[in-house]
Structure formats: C-alpha cells, structure tokens
C-alpha cells in the first residue's frame, strides 16, 4: 500500500487518510484528513474572530462619532446643510472619517446610499 507523508503531523499514512486532490502530484492533499480538519477549524475561527474584533472597534468609533455630531448639531456647533449633490433639504450626516466626528458631509438619503456604495464616484464625488 502506498503511504503518503502528512506535511503537518509528519506521519506516513495510507493514501485513504488523505483527501483526494487531483491537481497535486500524488493525487492527494499534503495534509492528512485529521490535520486538514484541524486546519480548517482554526482558519474558520481565526477569521471570524478577526472579523468581529474589527467590526466591534469600527462600530464603537461610529457610534461615538454620530453621538458627538448629534450633540454638536443640538448646540449649534454643527449646522445642517442641504444635500451636496441635489440640494434636497432633508439630509443625513455622513462621516468620511469617524476619527473626526465634527467633519461631516450632508446628503439626502438616496445620495448618501450612493456615496456609501461608491457609485457617486462616477460623478467625481468621493467619500
């Protein structure tokens, strides 16, 4: 029986202990099934954690910036402006940088969504 070497646990195992992988020379994966499963699990959770952490940090900044801007608006430090694209009076705040809570841009709902999605770039308007 042909045995293959696992690149992770360095055990020589029968071919059946590996996932088939046609594009490789031996026709099987370089990791045994057991190691492959561990690897996938680790990669899956590692990726998730990084994602949630980034999301959490982003969100705290976002909430903080919005809150500060709302307050500045209330005390008159920040003044509501019409949409910078179409001039519509009913506008929403857009923060190009949450690190600068009082640096906001005013856009109507429609143009705000377009700006966030990047489709206003065609008109020369960027975040």
Name the residues that contact Zn ion, by CB under 5 A: 6, 8-9, 32, 35, 83, 85-86, 88, 94, 108, 111
Tell me how far, at minimum, the Cβ of 48 lies from Zn ion, in Å: 24
User: Cβ–Cβ contacts within 10 Å for residue 38, how many?
Assistant: 14
Q: Any residues with CB less than 8 A from the CB of 11 and at least 6 apart, and which?
A: 5, 32
Pick the closer one to Zn ion by CB: 7 or 49. 7
Pick the closer one to Zn ion by CB: 3 or 48. 3
Please give the structure tokens belonging to residue 5. 């070497």
User: Cβ–Cβ contacts within 10 Å for residue 31, how many?
Assistant: 20
Tell me how far, at minimum, the Cβ of 26 lies from Zn ion, in Å: 14
Pick the closer one to Zn ion by CB: 50 or 67. 67
- Length of the chain equals 127
């Amino acid at each position: 029986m042909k045995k293959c070497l696992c690149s992770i646990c360095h055990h020589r195992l029968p071919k059946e202990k590996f996932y088939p992988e046609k594009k490789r020379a031996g026709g099987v994966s370089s990791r045994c099934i057991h190691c492959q499963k561990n690897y996938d699990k680790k990669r899956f959770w590692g990726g998730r954690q990084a994602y949630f952490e980034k999301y959490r940090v982003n969100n705290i900044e976002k909430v903080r910036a919005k809150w500060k801007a709302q307050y500045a608006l209330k005390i008159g430090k920040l003044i509501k402006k019409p949409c910078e694209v179409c001039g519509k009076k009913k506008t929403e705040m857009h923060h190009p940088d949450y690190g600068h809570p009082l640096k906001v841009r005013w856009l109507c709902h429609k143009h705000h969504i377009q700006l966030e999605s990047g489709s206003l770039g065609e008109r020369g308007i960027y975040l």
